[in-house]
Structure 1
């Protein structure tokens, strides 16, 4: 399975076609939030229509919570839910832990932990590769800004229980990190033409290969 992962488009979709051209043939698109820049919800429809491949998406903290209605209607919503495709189980959690900016989609740490606990417990009942799509990064993992580490402490508690975590949110922290069995990927700002190609093959070693790309 080849996945194109993107995040933090903030309503600017000018680099999507070049990213798709750079990516070649893909099986799935993962969008890790901030599809819009505080709305409107209808803006996201334009983005979704740009892909021929299946899409799974979550809102970011700069998306209105009402964006969930669009994602549900298009049958691509992964927020607080799961999808299994072949040998891969995807779970998702949108929004972010609290920020100093009072953005539209923020969740308290205890709510994030409770929701993820339920989703991950279900995912672990299978032998599938497990993928978490989240807007906020785990604390101390691709989350550093000038003021320090601002990632989500609740997500960090589950890092070694997922094979792959795709996140965004921290524009300055594009990269790939490993923690235990988990590979954590921040593709970088999609509005600047950044993305990540992720190949998952359960019959090969390594079973997850990540390539950061730029259009």
Structure 2
């Protein structure tokens, strides 16, 4: 179980985030004394830190600097401040990501999973949740969620997206997709596959991801991954 130190002084928000993270099997710790953040960090020895910018006494940037003097633990900033300078500052201080409030919780989970996977070379991603291009793909709710919003997919659309992501950056032939759908008892014809892919891309356009599904004429389809993933 990964330990997460959540440095957030809003008690209501802290409890809400903690409850949701615990449901995803993370072990969550808070700060008792915001004058002693570094000492409590040392005591907990977390696998990941989530920190707000606006905090009592010193801000999140100060504590990020202090933590970075002692540890390379992954750090995600969580803040309502949206000025580009804040995001740049957080990256310059060594943060791994920046999540702006208000946020979709699935996006936060996706970012946590991605960071832990990169740092620990471990698949921390829940079995029911896939991460692609910074978006959370919930295989139980049939949804794709990112900072631009959320779209709901049909079973066929979700299955096609999952197949493409499993082979991301590689072409998946139309024949392979049709065969996979057939074996999953979701038989589709060649024409129906085209219709489903077009609908999938149109829905993904709503959250700025449609361009990452490419049609390779005469070959099949390809799901690209963003360069910064």
The TM-score bracket by the shorter chain reads 0.3 to 0.5
**Larger helix percent:** 2
**Larger strand percent:** 1
- The structure with the larger Rg is 2
| Higher RCO (CA 8 Å, separation ≥ 6 residues) | 1
Return the TM-score normalized by structure 2: 0.33
